[in-house]
Each structure stands twice: as structure tokens, then as C-alpha cells.
Amino acid sequence: MPAHVVLGVGAGISAYKACELLRLLTESGHKVRVVPTPDALRFVGAATWAGLSGEPVSTDVWTDIALAPHVRLGQAADLVLVAPATADLLARAAAGRADDLLTATLLTATCPVAYAPAMHTEMWQHPATQANVALLRERGAVVIEPATGRLAGPDTGAGRLPDPAEIFAVATHLLSGRTLDLKGRRVLVSAGGTREELDPVRFIGNWSSGTQGYALARTAVARGAEVTVVAANVALADPAGATVIRVVSARDMQAAIASAAADADAIVMAAAVADYRPSQRQDGKMKKDGHAPGPLQLTENPDILAGLAALRGPGGQVLVGFAAETDMSLGLAQAKLARKGCDLLVVNPVGGGLGFGTADNEAVIYGADGSATEVLRGPKEALADVVWDLVAARLSEERLPG
């Protein structure tokens, strides 16, 4: 449904990326009013914002004073999205300042408010900035963790503005009306497909693109969670606001998850993990010499999800497994759920335009409590939201021994 969005733009070099974000919002039918800070116009001019949005652009509270824009913009908005949010802007918002139209709008907004920070690494990591971020989150705002990559000048590090498409996905989710039911929770998501090397050139793998795992990460961020993704061979843009740890093989993934799992309230294993690996990896490339190689000897990989279930104590994490199946029979799903020892098992069919590398998915989510939740075919974000609904419900319950 079309919404009224205020797009705040801070005075950072990445302001130019907000043009793409604005395009995504307007092409989705939303009415967008761009409110830059005065210094943001040094990077992108008012004429550009007005031309792209079809709405007037002002930076001070004195323009059209009879309409009281410093009050009306926030009151009428369905979402206030600030991208980029500089260290200065975060500080002024946290302090409740109202020294320009954008900060005044933030004070009058009763709708969801989201910030996409962008700044140099040292500024992002400074205790003052982290305290401001914590305060804004405590007040109910969504502050998206910045990406890591090339910054202004020669610098590289944490503080890069996330990809506009990823920010747009978070905005879309916030406009859906869902609450921040994962606020303060730490969640760990695995994504992609592991690869087991035969030699320096070849590997055993699968078709998983990581799309479902990244949809889970993206929706968890929008619901207020602190998200870590362990991604195996994923070529997608990092989900906005998530910390991404990159791995290759099943054993790499096991090690990464083991190091990140202790603080997680919920772990969702959406990755397609290889069940087997070659018993021996060849140091050099296997040559085609007219003779077929001998039988491939395989060794079983560790079952990461079952291992997590075996190690957790009473009141431990909510564990969710994924199973891409060609056989959707109830008996097979229940047996796998019991074998894995998880709380929820998401069983999704593959083939027929569903599964790996597609935008859509469908599934039946089985619970250890005997429940079964059917999710009809739709965007992978929709399935992700149902998963988090079920996880949030279990996190809200007191998890007692036994």
C-alpha cells in the first residue's frame, strides 16, 4: 500500500546513494518528501531531490511557516528514514535537538523511524556514537548497522552505507506494520551453500544462492534484532544491518557458528550444508588423461544443527533447521525434526520453479511441540516473517528445563 515517507539525508559523501533509494521508494508508489540537512545540499542539490521526488525540498523551519512543516511532516509520515545518518545527525537526534527541519521532524514523528548510518570507521566506533545509537534504539528507532567496505578517500572499514536496495527492503518491512518483537535479541543465521574441494579447481556443492538466508537476516534486522550471518559462497549484497562472516566448507561453517553461537538467542540454519566431503583433497589439479579417475571416496560432514541441539542446556537458544526436500511426506519431516533436535524445521519443496535461486518459496514449518504451519508460495521475505513469528513466540515463553 502506498505510504507517506520522509527521507532524511545527512551531510555525507554517500548522500548520492540516497538518490537510488528515493527512486526505489517512488517507483513502489510511495509519496516521498526529501528533507536534507543544510550541509547535505553541498553533496546533492535541492533541484535533484525535487526532480526525483516530485515534492518541494526545504531544510529549515521557516519555509512555508504557515503550514508548520516542522510539525506536519512528522505527523503525516508513515515512515521516517534517514540515509545517510552521519555521526553529527545521530548525536543531534539522540539529544532531541531541533535545529533544522529534519531534526524537528524526527521529534514530531510518531511512526517508525529508521537510520542508516554512514561515516568513517573511527567515528562509528567512537563510544559517543555507540552511546547515541544505543539510546535511539532504546527509544524504539531502528538503527541499521553500517556495511564494511570502501569509504571516502583511501579508507576501508566499517561505516559504509548499506546498498540502497537493502535499505529499501528494511523500509518496506517497517511499512508493513510489524512490531519490533525481536528488539534486543541476538540472532544467528546461516545462508548459502557449502563447497567441498576436490582439488584447487573443482568442488562438490549445491545450487543454494543464499536468498532465503539473507531474507531471514533482513527481516530480523527490521524487527529490531542484532543479526550475524554465516554465509557460504553467497554473491548477494550484504543484508543491511547484519554482520556477515564468510565461509566456504561445512567445517568452516561449523567453526564460525560455534564461535558466534554462545550469545545468540535464536539460530536459524537456512544454509544448504554438504552432507559429505571428499576423503582426500588433491593438491594439484586432476588432469584429463584419458583414464577415468577411481571411485570418489567420501567422508561424512558434521551435523551442525544436531551438534548445537546436543550442546544447548535448559533455557538455551531457539533452534530452527531448514530442509529442502523433493519428498514432502509428514513422516520424513517428523523423523528429521526429531533427529536434529531443533524447535522448528522448515521443510520447503525444491523443483518446479521453487527453492534454490528463486524469489519465491513455500514451506511447512513443523514444531517440536507437534505444530505444523503451512506457508503458501510467496516472496522469501514472507516465509522469513512467519519463521520469526514462531521464533518470537517461543522466545517470549519462559524456557524451562525439560
Among all residues, which ones are annotated catalytic? 206
Distances (CA, A) of 200 to 157, 203, 260, 279, 299: 30, 8, 29, 15, 18
109 within 8 A of 123, measured Cβ to Cβ:
no
SS (H, E, C) 153-211: CCCEEEEECCCHHHHHHHHHHHHCCCCCCCCCCEEEEEEEECCEECCCCCEECCCCCCH
Residues 113/128/188/264 CA torsion (nearest 10 deg): -110
Gap between the Cα atoms of 46 and 91, Å rounded: 24
Gap between the Cα atoms of 45 and 118, Å rounded: 19
Gap between the Cα atoms of 158 and 338, Å rounded: 41
- Bond prior to 302 in cis (omega within 30° of 0): no
- CA of residue 130 relative to chain centroid, distance: 20
User: Grid coordinates standing for 121?
Assistant: 570507521
Structural element, H or E, at residue 114: strand 113-117
DSSP classification of residue 262: T
